[in-house]
Structure 1
């Protein structure tokens, strides 16, 4: 079992120091969230809350994922980095190729990318990317990224992307794992058909098992049920070695856990308990490492 933590709602300037604590404690990695802006006037309905509105404050930090990953990679030795999730189709594809390739080179291959089609039209429009074709375009982007990260002379031609032969350096020292987030049928099928894994949100262990059954059904549909496949989710049950043993048994390969966080408070919009200095994270990190990670890894 691999243990990950997230960065959402934490203080940006504290994250490199927290990353060093996680690295020293034996956590596997950090997943970085992504948003570009908080529009003062937003027409898009937020699908993640019953109110249809974002549950975080306008002044909440959403640091650039790859700048933050580069900063954390520079002060760690073993920690891995990914996303939950990165809205790749809202960016020009060559920008994604360059940023991830650079992060992979700096970290000596300690990065993956967790993609999603996104939901906020305003971000796409501000970045000059088509919102309405984002799903099929992301499917093609996944194929293109694998080609464009190979190093040397690379190119790609598809329905949405036409990249003439060029070099894009630095390129990753090894293939970058591509995971997909989202719970819609289209997102689950995308993960099952094109990706190396799926990143979920937070569930009870019983609900997580149902999501895994669904995605494994799609993997069988696409003839990929025997290929390696990561499933990373958060679990809302009380942490215990027994819980994570069961999680591994049902096919979860990575667990998102934030031993310093109050899940209910965080998702009700109360993020004050996440905004302390880095030192306030040390004790819960070390306690979780001693009580859980040391007994399972």
Structure 2
């Protein structure tokens, strides 16, 4: 079992010291969240809470995840990074492809794109992106990015419903494919992960809910003929808090638990020193027994 650290809602000053501590402790990856703006008035319901209210408040720090990953990658050696979740159809795929290829050329192949289609219609409107077509555009964006990253052919073109590109090339290209993990807990997300993804990222779920989601994704992987491809199951689990709980997740097919490692011994602290000590505790009490 691998473990990933969630840096959502973290003070920007803590990113680099936490990344270095995770790298030294042997944590597999850290995850960075994404939003561009927070409108004062939001009518779009947040899909992951019972009352539709976001888990974060205005003035919560959302560092641009690609900037954060590049900075953390420069001060670490083994630690991997992924976004959780990057709102892909909020942007044009050419810009996203360029950023990811540039990061990997600087820090190596330690980056994955955790993507979703988004939920906040107001943010799409402010960014000039069509909320209604976000799913289809995300699918095309994945095709475009992978085409631009490939070493062959020399020139790439695309003729889709939402994106049309003449023959172009983008340098630097990636020396290895950037993994794309699909986030979400809808049937649409499960199908997209199975059809186009290299993995799936959950929301906070119980072990039983994780098992049901994996069953659905494996159903669709069989349907699309993608079961032979390597696939990451990255989950946040509310009732897996010890070795037995992690073992049950592993038996279901989970490959990485996404958590806040300091919570297990230091609680939901925002103090950097306590978080760093909690990462050390986690390495001694959990990682050393894996």
Same fold, TM exceeding 0.5? yes
**CA distance in structure 1 between the partners assigned to 2:58 and 2:79 by the alignment:** 30
Partner of 2:260: 258
Note the C-alpha offset of 1:238.
4.5
Could you tell me whether the CA contact under 8 Å between 1:10 and 1:274 is conserved in 2?
A: no
Partner of 1:174: 176
Partner of 2:27: 27
Note the C-alpha offset of 1:12.
1.2
Deviations 1:16-71 (A, max 9, x none): 11000000000000111111111012222222222222232201001101000111
Partner of 1:67: 67
Note the C-alpha offset of 1:159.
1.6
Could you tell me whether the CA contact under 8 Å between 2:263 and 2:278 is conserved in 1?
A: no
Partner of 1:276: 271
**CA distance in structure 2 between the partners assigned to 1:120 and 1:156 by the alignment:** 28
**CA distance in structure 1 between the partners assigned to 2:150 and 2:270 by the alignment:** 39
Pick from 210, 224, 234 the counterpart of residue 222 of structure 1: 224
- Aligned pairs for 1:84-99 (under 5 A) are 84-99=84-99
1:289 aligns to 2:249 (yes or no): no
Moved more, 15-24 or 203-212: 203-212
Considering Cα pairs closer than 8 Å and 6+ residues apart, tell me whether 1 or 2 has the greater RCO: 1
**CA distance in structure 1 between the partners assigned to 2:253 and 2:111 by the alignment:** 22
User: What number of residue pairs does the alignment pair up?
Assistant: 286
Which TM-score applies when normalising by structure 1? 0.91
Note the C-alpha offset of 1:274.
4.5
Partner of 1:147: 147
Question: 3-state DSSP class of the match of 1:112?
Answer: strand
Structure 2: gaps of 5 or more residues? none
Partner of 2:4: 4
Deviations 1:69-118 (A, max 9, x none): 11110100000000111001001111111111111212211001011010
Partner of 1:162: 164
- Name segments (4+ residues, structure 1) moved above 3 Å: none
Structure 1: gaps of 5 or more residues? 266-272
